[in-house]
C-alpha cells in the first residue's frame, strides 16, 4: 500500500486517538513479524474509526467481510455491547488460526464468530439475517459483488464501511482488474439512491455509507 497522507501528519493523528485494547498492538506486532502481506492490516487510526462507528451506529450485530489476522474484528468487538456479535468471513485457514488465538485471550473475542470459506457463499447463506454495520476489507476484484450481496443484510439506518477505496491512488487511472473493481464499487455506492456516502482519506481510503430509512 502506497502512502497517500504525509507520514508526519498520520503519526500525529495516530497519537491523538482514544486508547485501543492492548491486544491490538500484539496482533499488529505479530502480523508484521510473521506475515509477508502485513500491509493489509488496518492499523490504529482506522481501528479507532471503526470502533467509533460501531458506538455511533449503535451496532449490536456486525458483519465483517475479510478477517485477515483479526485486528479490525477485535477493534469493533471491543465497542459492541455485552450481548453483541460480530460475524467475520475469511477463507484463509492460517489467518483464521492466528486471529482465533488472539480472540481466545481477550474478553472481546467471545463476541466474534468466524465463518470459514468463500465470503460470497457465506453471504448467500446469511439471507434473511440483519446486521447493523457491514465492514468490507476482502479481495478487491469482488467488491461490487460483495456490496450487492451484503446490502440486503443491512438494516435501514445501518452503516456500510469499506476499506482501500482510494487503492493507493490507482482509482484515478484504473488499469488492473482490482483497480477497475474498486472504481466500479465507488461509483456504485455514490449512485445508489438508498445510500448516503462519504469517501474519507483515512489510510488507503475508507468509505462510510448509511442505508436510508423509509422516512429519509
Q: How would you classify the pairing of strands 195-200 and 85-90?
A: unpaired
Q: What's the grid cell of residue 194? A: 438508498
CATH class of 7-211: alpha beta
**Confidence band (pLDDT; 50, 70, 90) for 214?**
confident
Q: How far apart are CA 208 and CA 102, in angstroms?
A: 27
* pLDDT the model gives residue 38: 86
Give per-residue pLDDT as tens, 87-138: 999 999 999 999 999 999 999 999 999 999 999 999 999 999 999 999 999 9
- pTM for this structure? 0.95
Number of Cβ atoms within 10 Å of the Cβ of 110 = 12
Could you tell me which residues come within 8 angstroms of residue 55 by beta carbon, excluding any fewer than 6 positions away? 79
Question: How do the domains of the chain map onto residue ranges?
Answer: 7-211
Answer left, alpha or beta for residue 43, where phi above 0 means left and psi between -120 and 50 means alpha: left
Amino acid at each position: 500500500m502506497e502512502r497517500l497522507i504525509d507520514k508526519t501528519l498520520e503519526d500525529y493523528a495516530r497519537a491523538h486517538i482514544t486508547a485501543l485494547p492492548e491486544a491490538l498492538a500484539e496482533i499488529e506486532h505479530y502480523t508484521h513479524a510473521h506475515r509477508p502481506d502485513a500491509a493489509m492490516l488496518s492499523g490504529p487510526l482506522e481501528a479507532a474509526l471503526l470502533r467509533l462507528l460501531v458506538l455511533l451506529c449503535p451496532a449490536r450485530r456486525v458483519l465483517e467481510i475479510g478477517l485477515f489476522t483479526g485486528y479490525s474484528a477485535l477493534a469493533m468487538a471491543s465497542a459492541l455491547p455485552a450481548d453483541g456479535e460480530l460475524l467475520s468471513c475469511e477463507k484463509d485457514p492460517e489467518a483464521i488460526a492466528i486471529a482465533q488465538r488472539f480472540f481466545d485471550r481477550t474478553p472481546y473475542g467471545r463476541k466474534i464468530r468466524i465463518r470459514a470459506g468463500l465470503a460470497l457463499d457465506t453471504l448467500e447463506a446469511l439471507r434473511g439475517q440483519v446486521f447493523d454495520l457491514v465492514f468490507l476489507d476482502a479481495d478487491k476484484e469482488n467488491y461490487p459483488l460483495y456490496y450487492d450481496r451484503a446490502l440486503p443484510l443491512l438494516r435501514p439506518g445501518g452503516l456500510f464501511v469499506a476499506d482501500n477505496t482510494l487503492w493507493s491512488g490507482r482509482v484515478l487511472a484504473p488499469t488492473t482488474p482490482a483497480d477497475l473493481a474498486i472504481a466500479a464499487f465507488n461509483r456504485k455506492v455514490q449512485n445508489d439512491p438508498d445510500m448516503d456516502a462519504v469517501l474519507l482519506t483515512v489510510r488507503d481510503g475508507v468509505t462510510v455509507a448509511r442505508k436510508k430509512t423509509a422516512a429519509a
